[in-house]
Amino acid sequence: MNHKVVLFLVALALGRALGQATEFPGKKSTWQDYARYDFKIGDADCRVVKPRKTAKGKPWIWRARFWGHEPQTDLALLSKGWHVVYCEVGGLFGSPKAIKRWDRFYEFLITQHGFSKKAALEGMSRGGLIIYNWAASNPDKVAALYGDAPVCDFKSWPAGKGGGKGSAGTWKQCLAAYNFTETDALAYKGNPIDQLPPLAKAGVPILHVVGDADEVVPIAENSDIIEKRYKTLGGKIDVIHKPGVGHHPHSLKDPKTIVDFFLKHTSR
């Protein structure tokens, strides 16, 4: 067994025995005047930003992609005592490899640092693939899910098999991440649009923020399908539309609606 894996397992065991570690590993720096820690778990680059005073229950928001871009929601939650965390899976497009990375990171945060057992998920653009696919595999570990112009079907982006622009080079990377031929990928039934029943059964609330003029991740091929199917399943979903806005900018200038969504569904 690789010695790094052995050390990781030993650390997990110690974490369980001691309750939680007092500090995070890796390089310490600051982000927006908050303490930031960068470290690796296996081959994954991970990051944790600590609030100045931790809220009751140790809530946390799990950022899936584009660290630091339109950070207003993350900063608002930090100010309310939430941790903000990140585990790099951007080149894996929500594949089983990505889910395994997130599983390891989740276990680390829960067993060694006493985080709330239910994560609040935040996915921008391709981040939609991992937040939905991980949530579908772990519905009991998700408090709420927020997708921002989220990719919900890789046939839409990066494949570009619908009305969107697509990205030929990125599509090749996506196929490699899944070890798929294009024929395999087009027949695949494991995209977020296909994985909603476990989330609906678990009662996971969903919020999307979308630009109606998005030509990169068209809402008709992504968020509209999620919204229709989730409501049919009896799931709770709200979609905020930004008329005339394309794929950028993400988020909302005033993140109060997003922040209130998370606060409401982590206080249950």
Q: What is the pLDDT along the chain (268 residues), one digit of tens a residue?
A: 555 544 554 454 444 444 444 589 999 999 999 999 999 999 999 999 999 999 999 999 999 988 878 899 999 999 999 999 999 998 999 999 999 999 999 999 999 999 999 999 999 999 999 999 999 999 999 999 999 999 999 999 999 999 999 999 999 999 999 999 999 999 999 999 999 999 999 999 999 999 999 999 999 999 999 999 999 999 999 999 999 887 888 889 999 999 999 999 997 5
Q: Which pairing describes strands 237-242 and 206-211: parallel, antiparallel, or unpaired? A: parallel
- CA distances from residue 153 to 7, 218, 229, 264 in whole angstroms, order as listed: 37, 10, 13, 28
The domain 3-266: what is its CATH number?
3.40.50.1820
68 within 8 A of 29, measured Cβ to Cβ:
no
Q: Which amino acid is at 105?
A: F
The phi and psi torsions of 258 (rounded to 5 degrees) equal -70, -45
At residue 19, the pLDDT reads: 40
- C-alpha 35: how far from its chain's center? 21
Q: Report the C-alpha gap between 181 and 152 in whole angstroms.
A: 20
At residue 68, the pLDDT reads: 78
Q: Which pairing describes strands 206-211 and 142-148: parallel, antiparallel, or unpaired? A: parallel
- C-alpha 57: how far from its chain's center? 20
At residue 17, the pLDDT reads: 41
At residue 268, the pLDDT reads: 53
At residue 6, the pLDDT reads: 47
At residue 65, the pLDDT reads: 82
